[in-house]
Chain A
Amino acid sequence: MKFERYGKGIAKGLTVTITHLFRHPITTQYPEQRLNTSRRFRGNELIWDNIKCTGCSTCAKACPQGAIQIITSVNLGENQYKVEKYEVDTGYCIQCGLCVESCPFDALFLSYDYERAKYRRQELVMGKEGLLLSDKKQLSAYARPKVEATLPKQTLLLNRDKVEK
Chain B
Amino acid sequence: MISALIGLPLAGATILLLGGRRTNAWGHYLAVLMSASSFFVGVSLFSKMLGLEGEERALHQHLFDWIAVGTFNVPFALHLDQLSIAFVLLITGVGTLIHVYSIGYMEHDENRRKFFAYLNLFVAAMLLLVLANNYLLLYVGWEGVGLASYLLISFWQHKPSAAVAGKKAFVVNRVGDVGLSIAVMLMFVTFGSVTFEGVAEAATKADQQTVTWIGLALLLAACGKSAQFPLQSWLLDAMEGPTPVSALIHAATMVTAGVYLIVRAHAIFDLSETARTAVVVIGAITLLLGAYIGTAKDDIKKGLAGSTMSQIGYMILAAGLGPVGYVFAIFHLLTHGMFKAGLFLGAGSVMHGMHDDVNMRHYGALRGFMKVTYVTFGLGFLAIIGIPPFAGFWSKDEIIHAAFGQSTVIGLATLIGAGVTAFYMTRMMTMTFFGEARWEDGVHPHESSNVMTIPMIVLAFGSVFGGLLMLFVGDIEHWLEPVVGFAKPEHHVSNTTLIPITLAVVLAGASYAWFKYGRRPVPVVAPTEVSLLTRAARADAYGDALNEAVFMRPGQHLTRSLTFFDAKGIDGVVNGLAAGIGGLSARTRKTQTGYARNYAAYMLGGAALIAFILYLVRL
Partners in one complex: no
Q: Contact residues of A with B, CB < 8 Å?
A: none
Which residues of chain B have a CB within 8 Å of any CB of chain A?
A: none
